[in-house]
């Protein structure tokens, strides 16, 4: 450990990989209820100036006071977590103190009109102590649900604090089996509703309380779907493709929820009959509701993609690249394969559901988009032709008929203002794909090298003749 002190700043550092804080460090850490009460009082009085008053920006002394208090609170929460201190022993289990600190930290970490320094300190505090401030999956889900429940919600209006809170709460919801517990409660709730509707009876008060206090998982899934597909629409409208972008925690949760739900229906034991399994009935009811929630915004995104892709081949490729890294690619193919697999194992899967009505709008949107694929007419002609029967291929050339192009030919063509590139021993004219235009679309050569063959084939002008083969 090293330390350096100056007239205005002091720096301390350590070579240890883990950050450890004792339960009692003079002037820094003292894990007891009185410490947390004092910090809560400071935060409450200081936050009234920035969360209630309209003066902007807040005074600097208020900013410093809030940041310092949050940093000290972060140390207390970190020490409690590392030393496994029972929150109830310091008044942080369902008390007024716990509720007040949770509200203040969450608001400061997620609100749009908070100074960056304050928001960063609040987010660091929440990251260090989310297991104490939001100890149950139900609390995390309800906090996330309230965060995303705004009627005027738009993906491009979300602040950095909202994105942080969404990712943190989704990741914490998936920790320690929280999603599995929530899904189990949701399935039991669906089963109870089915029994209630069949028998026209009412649940006893104990069962009703149990299901009513469960995590509102389906409502949370609906909001996360809205989140993901609104971001999809924003990416399509701006036509900005970001290769290599990682999947968001929200999309990971939706994908995991989808897989867990399918696994609840799939018969793991051949001796078990799915139509006799009550848990399977509840899971199927939940699956039906999930499909309805998924297909509506998905159809809207596909229709938007088809409208944009119809402008040109360049538009089609950019739109397809965006969808490939999107919720459309992550959720839909796996869901369709899972439904086919379930139908093989559970012939009576959702037998009361009109499948055509459920999927028809989505299938029509996908058909309209797929019809825009470059080279589709050639594929259709080849698929419909009989063996040995010649078809009209006037517009297409076989590899043997392609012009042989030398390196000097490529250099001369590009020197005259053209744009030929070499990919896998073939020469492509990508003059129409170069950057520019009102759309602001720009494709790098690396992106083109990964493009589907059907798209590149439409730009092929000849085969490359290697100088050694001349």
Nearest to 372 by CA among 315, 416, 295: 315
Residue spans of the domains in the chain: they are: 19-134, 136-195+212-374, 404-464
Of the two residues 75 and 326, the one the predictor is more confident about is 75
Which pLDDT does position 384 carry in this prediction? 63
- For residues 218-231, b (16+ Cβ closer than 10 Å) or e, as one string? bbbbbbbbebbbbb
Which of these ranges, 37-51, 106-120, 147-161, has the smallest mean pLDDT?
147-161
Please name the fold of domain 404-464.
Answer: Flavocytochrome B2; Chain A, domain 1 (3.10.120)
Which pLDDT does position 153 carry in this prediction? 41
- Compute the distance between CA of residue 139 and CA of residue 102 in angstroms, rounded to an integer: 11
Section 298-308 average pLDDT: 93
Mean pLDDT rounded to a whole number for the chain: 77
Q: Please give the span between the terminal C-alpha atoms of the chain, in angstroms, as a whole number.
A: 69
Which of these ranges, 250-264, 344-358, 394-408, has the smallest mean pLDDT?
394-408
Section 42-52 average pLDDT: 78
Q: Which element (helix H / strand E) includes 35? A: helix 33-51
Which pLDDT does position 156 carry in this prediction? 46
Which pLDDT does position 297 carry in this prediction? 92
Two tokens, residue 334:
């796996």
Of the two residues 320 and 138, the one the predictor is more confident about is 320
Which pLDDT does position 191 carry in this prediction? 83
Report helix, strand or coil for 171. helix
Of the two residues 388 and 155, the one the predictor is more confident about is 388
Of the two residues 30 and 6, the one the predictor is more confident about is 30
Helix, strand, coil % over all residues of the chain, rounded to 5:
65, 5, 30
- Per-residue pLDDT tens digits for 136-179: 766 776 676 666 554 344 444 445 555 666 777 677 766 667 78
What pTM does this model have?
Answer: 0.62
Which pLDDT does position 401 carry in this prediction? 59
Which pLDDT does position 382 carry in this prediction? 62
- Per-residue pLDDT tens digits for 454-466: 566 667 888 888 7
Of the two residues 114 and 434, the one the predictor is more confident about is 114
Which of these ranges, 295-299, 311-315, 395-399, has the smallest mean pLDDT?
395-399
Is residue 367 very low, low, confident or very high in pLDDT (cuts 50, 70, 90)? very high
Which pLDDT does position 417 carry in this prediction? 82
Cβ–Cβ under 8 Å, residues 77 and 128: yes
Is residue 110 very low, low, confident or very high in pLDDT (cuts 50, 70, 90)? confident
Which pLDDT does position 202 carry in this prediction? 45
pLDDT at position 394 over 50: no
Q: Which element (helix H / strand E) includes 255? A: helix 249-265
Of the two residues 62 and 380, the one the predictor is more confident about is 62
- Per-residue pLDDT tens digits for 78-98: 889 888 889 999 998 889 999
Is residue 234 very low, low, confident or very high in pLDDT (cuts 50, 70, 90)? confident
């Amino acid at each position: 450990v090293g330390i350096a002190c100056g007239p205005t700043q002091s720096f301390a550092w350590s070579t240890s990989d883990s950050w450890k804080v004792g339960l009692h460090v003079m002037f820094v850490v003292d894990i007891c209820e009185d410490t947390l009460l004092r910090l809560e009082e400071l935060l409450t009085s200081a936050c009234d100036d920035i969360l209630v008053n309209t003066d902007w920006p807040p005074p600097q002394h208020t900013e410093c006071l809030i940041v310092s208090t949050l940093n000290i609170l972060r140390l207390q929460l970190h020490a409690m977590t590392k030393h496994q201190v029972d929150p109830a022993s310091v008044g942080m289990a369902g008390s007024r103190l716990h509720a007040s600190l949770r509200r203040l930290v969450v608001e400061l970490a997620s609100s749009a009109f908070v100074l960056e320094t304050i928001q960063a300190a609040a987010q660091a505090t929440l990251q260090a102590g989310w297991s104490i401030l939001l100890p149950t999956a139900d609390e995390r889900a309800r906090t996330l649900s309230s965060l995303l429940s705004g009627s005027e919600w738009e993906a491009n209006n979300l602040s950095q604090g909202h994105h942080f809170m969404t990712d943190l709460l989704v990741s914490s919801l998936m920790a320690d089996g929280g999603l599995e517990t929530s899904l189990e409660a949701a399935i039991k709730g669906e089963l109870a509703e089915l029994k209630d509707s069949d028998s026209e009876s009412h649940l006893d008060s104990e069962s009703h309380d149990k299901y009513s206090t469960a995590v509102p998982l389906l409502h949370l899934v609906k909001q996360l779907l809205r989140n993901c597909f609104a971001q999809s629409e924003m990416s399509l409208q701006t036509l900005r493709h970001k290769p290599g972008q990682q999947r968001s925690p929200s999309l990971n949760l939706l994908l995991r929820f989808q897989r867990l739900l399918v696994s609840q229906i799939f018969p793991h034991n051949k001796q078990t009959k799915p139509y006799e399994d009550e848990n399977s009935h509840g899971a199927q009811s939940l699956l039906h509701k999930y499909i309805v929630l998924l297909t509506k915004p998905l159809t809207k995104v596909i229709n938007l993609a088809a409208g944009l892709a119809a402008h040109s081949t360049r538009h089609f490729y950019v739109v397809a690249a965006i969808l490939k890294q999107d919720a459309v690619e992550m959720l839909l193919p796996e869901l369709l394969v899972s439904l086919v697999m379930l139908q093989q194992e559970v012939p009576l899967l959702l037998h009361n559901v009109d499948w055509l009505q459920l999927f028809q709008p989505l299938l029509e949107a996908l058909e309209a988009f797929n019809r825009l694929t470059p080279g589709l007419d050639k594929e259709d002609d080849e698929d419909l032709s009989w063996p040995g029967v010649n078809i009209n291929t006037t517009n297409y050339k076989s590899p043997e008929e392609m012009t042989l192009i030398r390196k000097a030919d490529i250099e001369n063509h590009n020197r005259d203002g053209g744009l030929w590139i070499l990919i896998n021993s073939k020469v492509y004219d990508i003059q129409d794909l170069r950057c520019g235009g009102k759309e602001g679309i720009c494709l790098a050569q690396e992106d083109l090298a990964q493009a589907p063959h059907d798209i590149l084939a439409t730009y092929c002008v000849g085969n490359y003749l290697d100088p050694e083969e001349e």
